[in-house]
A and B are shown apart, each in its own frame.
Chain A
Amino acid sequence: MAGTKSPHKGSNALLRISFGWVGLVFLAVVWQLAAIGINKTIFPSFTTSIIAALHLATSSILLSDILPSIERTILGFFISAVIGISAGVIIGHYEVARKWSGTVVDFLRSLPTPLLVPIAVVIFGLNGRMVIATIVTAAIWPILINTANGTSSIESTMLDTAKTYGLRGRSLFLRVVLPAASPQIFAGLRVALSVSLVVMVVAEMLGGGSGIGYYISNAQQSFNIKGSYGGVIILGAMGWMFDTLFLMLEGRILSWQRGTVGGMANA
């Protein structure tokens, strides 16, 4: 592990990474210019919105709304990951389980989750637990399905090999099935992470009692325009942060995979 250097590290990397931001800067400039021509009360400029966002992030909103949202997202995502991976491994490994659960899973994951928010409100009330429960009902599916597909498509030679070396039951799952399916599991986790964020926002808007989604929709209803734009920017930053942290973690855990997949179609 130590001896292998990533082939594309070097002075070029920094340039490439910074170049990656060009599109974002471009969008900001367009926004700024457009704001000049449009009614400022409903469309504040980019700089105004960024300042509003910074203001939010350093005010009491940080503790009352931003951090709770982060906490709910992470918790919901984590619960989904635990349930999704365990159920997915079982469904993927045993064809019987796949056949029995197929239709039910297909139906449940087709359910547009926001419709569940009113039900969750009736069951849990207007609070963070409701938000977490709603996140789980949505984020679990990409994880479960990717895990099941990853598990069921493990090469039979690989399973044979594991069996010849005496791996059975739990150690077979932990040492062969999970690692072999991990690239697909991680792809599912990444989708689930953005799903968690999406659902967190809508659940909070509809009855979170607090949180960034709650803040944004309140700001809109009380005509705090700058506040709602600032909130959206904070959400964007949150999404970017989650995604970046996730990719770092994935890169670390799947480092063995670097040379095995050239194209990404089979990732």
Chain B
Amino acid sequence: MTKEITTIGPEEQRSKTLLKPSRHKLGLVRPLGGVIVALLLWEVVSVTGIVNKTALPTPPATLIAIVRNLGGLGSAVLGTLEAWALGIVIASVTGIAVGTLVGRSRIADAATETLVRMMRPLPSLALIPIAILVAGLGLKMTSGLVSFAAFWPIFINTRSGVRQVDNRFLDSANALGLRGFELIRRVVIPASAPMIASGIQVAISLALVVTVSVELVGGTGGLGQFVLLAQQGNATSTMFAGVIIGGTLGWALNTAYLAVINRIMPWRTQGDRN
């Protein structure tokens, strides 16, 4: 109905996991089998040297590198997590607040159309050099950039979530005498919560990408710098160790978030069935 003005869809990542959680013991066999097959494939590729041997260490070599660098990896992960968390918190607060305000007003909604269209795909990473110029290197700069990047999916999803709140909810809320902030807090936000949650889910991965990128480009510590230093030192297995830990971190953050969300909002996945 209101779709005609707006061409911006919500971030389409409602069900980001391929596997629905399975309550079965047998359900674990095949996913684990898949992991083993993938590891074997990796082993074969690196041993046979299809890819440049120095560029691709074997899985055992990578595992050894992880164990050897546990201390360095640990503090790198903590550094990355700190900047990431700060950015996500700022982005969530501002994204939900601004998204709600814009989504409630048709005028603000229409007026921000092009801005959003342009900012959404604008690689916030392009701002890294500028951010270095303006804010210098450091946690403040990293988190600032991370929150800038993470703001957009949260804002966009909140905006369209708020816009789509069923009029019947609003009517009944009005009939109950809910107005202004009370209406937003008790009806609008809960009703758009599933959409907001999806926006945050996208933001979580995006924020990690930006954090790591800033660390790589600016050399500001964390996993990004860890991998960069390993590359400069020609230590490919250490480099791979950093990459694998980075993947595990991303996977853990996403899985943990989904677990929390599914617990708070068990009705969220209902829409997936159709």
Residues on A close to B: CB < 8 A? 7-8, 16, 19-24, 26-27, 42-43, 91, 96, 98-108, 110-119, 121-123, 138, 142, 145-146, 148-149, 153, 184, 187-188, 190-191, 193-194, 197-198, 200-202, 205-206, 213, 216-217, 219-221, 225, 228-229, 231-232, 235-237, 239-240, 242-244, 247, 262-267
Complex Cα spacing A201 to B33, Å: 36
5 nearest interchain CB pairs? A220-B129, A20-B113, A187-B12, A110-B250, A239-B121
User: Are B31's CB and A202's CB within 8 A?
Assistant: no
- The chain B residue sitting closest to A236, CB to CB, is B122
Supply 7 A–B pairs (Cβ within 8 Å), ascending by A.
A20-B113, A104-B34, A104-B38, A116-B243, A122-B54, A190-B9, A232-B126
User: Are A264's CB and B9's CB within 8 A?
Assistant: yes
Choose from A102, A146, A263 the contact partner of B31 (Cβ within 8 Å): A102
User: Are A191's CB and B126's CB within 8 A?
Assistant: no
Number of interface residues of B (CB under 8 A): 88
- The chain A residue sitting closest to B246, CB to CB, is A115
Residues 228-274 (chain B) with a chain A CB within 8 angstroms:
228, 230-231, 236, 239-240, 242-243, 246-251, 253-255, 271-274
User: Are B52's CB and A111's CB within 8 A?
Assistant: no
Q: What 0/1 readout, one digit per residue, does chain B (203-238) give for beta carbons within 8 Å of chain A?
A: 001001101110011000001100110110000100
Residue B140, interface by CB 8 Å: no
Choose from A24, A115, A123, A225 the contact partner of B227 (Cβ within 8 Å): A115
In the bound complex, residues from chain A placing their C-beta under 8 Å from that of B5 are 16, 20
Of B4, B17, B121, the most chain A CB neighbours within 10 A belong to B121
User: Are A197's CB and B123's CB within 8 A?
Assistant: yes
User: Are B126's CB and A213's CB within 8 A?
Assistant: yes
Residues on B close to A: CB < 8 A? 1, 3-5, 7, 9-13, 15-19, 27, 30-35, 37-38, 51-52, 54-56, 110-130, 132-134, 160, 164, 195, 205, 208-209, 211-213, 216-217, 223-224, 227-228, 230-231, 236, 239-240, 242-243, 246-251, 253-255, 271-274
User: Are B112's CB and A101's CB within 8 A?
Assistant: no
User: Are B212's CB and A115's CB within 8 A?
Assistant: yes
Complex Cα spacing A25 to B217, Å: 31
Complex Cα spacing A217 to B122, Å: 16
User: Are A111's CB and B247's CB within 8 A?
Assistant: yes
In the bound complex, residues from chain B placing their C-beta under 8 Å from that of A244 are 117
- The chain B residue sitting closest to A221, CB to CB, is B129
Of A7, A104, A225, the most chain B CB neighbours within 10 A belong to A104
Choose from A99, A121, A206 the contact partner of B30 (Cβ within 8 Å): A99
In the bound complex, residues from chain B placing their C-beta under 8 Å from that of A115 are 212, 216, 223-224, 227, 242-243, 246-247
User: Are A264's CB and B10's CB within 8 A?
Assistant: yes
- The chain A residue sitting closest to B202, CB to CB, is A191
Complex Cα spacing A263 to B165, Å: 11
Complex Cα spacing A99 to B21, Å: 11
Complex Cα spacing A123 to B212, Å: 20
Given A112-B205, A149-B18, A205-B125; 19 other pairs, CB 8 A cutoff: A22-B110, A23-B115, A99-B27, A103-B35, A105-B18, A107-B35, A110-B254, A112-B212, A112-B246, A114-B212, A119-B55, A119-B243, A146-B13, A153-B274, A235-B123, A236-B118, A239-B118, A263-B164, A267-B12
